[in-house]
Amino acid sequence: MSENKYDARSISKIGLLMALEIVLTQFISIETPIVRIGFGFLPIAIIGMLYGPWIAGMASAITDIVGTILFGGGVFFPGFILSAFIGGMIYGLILYKKPKSLKRIIIAILLVTVFVNLGMNTIWLTIMLDKAILVIFPTRLVQNLVLAPVNILLLYFVVQNKTLRKAIGID
């Protein structure tokens, strides 16, 4: 990476990763009866690794807004933007300029899972759907218990694969 992390190459890389996040979230996911396995977190985690918490948080919030405008069907809730921002921040805080170890990846994924997915997003859904948290939480808990290990493995594969690391520009 060049000395200036805000040069044209870096900005275009951030933009491409943001576009990839939208595509992965909207079009490339595996649907099962219990859980939807999505890959949209990967580009945001990569932005966090490469550019830090503030850039990752802003990129995540912006992609959430753009994705909602383009594909949300009119459903807009500001809480999800805050969740997206904090999720990106967590990836940046844990992974930026630090070793990309399995331990750090587990910590990042678990923090996002517990605080953002199970915590904040469950609260936003409770408000939006006007349902008791005890109705929503059990399904979300099962979904996140399934997804967290999958996300850990996916992110670990990306950061350990030499070809992907070189293509992305990780360290």
CATH number at 138 reads 1.10.1760.20
Residue 19: half-sphere exposure toward Cβ, Cα within 13 Å? 6
pLDDT tens by residue, 62-82: 999 998 888 876 567 899 999
Give the pLDDT confidence score for residue 1 in this predicted structure: 44
Residue 104: partners with Cβ closer than 8 Å, 6 or more residues away: 94, 95, 98
Q: Is 1 within a domain?
A: no
Record the tokens describing residue 42, joined without a space: 């990967």
Provide the 10 A C-beta neighbour count for residue 46. Answer: 25
Q: Where are the alpha helices (DSSP H) in the chain?
A: 8-26, 41-51, 53-71, 78-95, 102-111, 121-129, 133-160, 162-168
Q: What is the average per-residue pLDDT within 115-132?
A: 90
> Is residue 114 situated within a structural domain?
yes
Q: Are 105 and 95 in contact (CB under 8 A)?
A: yes
Residue 62 included in any domain: yes
Q: Is residue 124 part of a domain?
A: yes
Mention every residue, 6+ apart, whose C-beta is less than 8 A from residue 20. 43
Q: Number of structural domains, the chain?
A: 1
Judged against a pLDDT cut of 80, whether residue 3 lies above it is answered with no
Q: Which two tokens stand for residue 133?
A: 């948290």
pLDDT band at 34, cuts 50/70/90?
A: low
Residue 116 placed within a domain: yes
Look up the domain containing 113 and give its range.
8-168
Backbone angles phi, psi at 168, to 5 degrees: -80, -30
Look at residue 2 in the predicted model and tell me its pLDDT: 44
Domain assignment of residue 33, yes or no: yes
Rounded to two decimals, what is the model's pTM? 0.89
- Please indicate, yes or no, if residue 92 is contained in any of the structural domains: yes
Written as six digits, the tokens of 37 are 């396995």
φ/ψ of 82, rounded to 5, equals: -60, -40
The conformation of residue 76, written as its DSSP 8-state character, comes to -
Residue 95 domain flag? yes
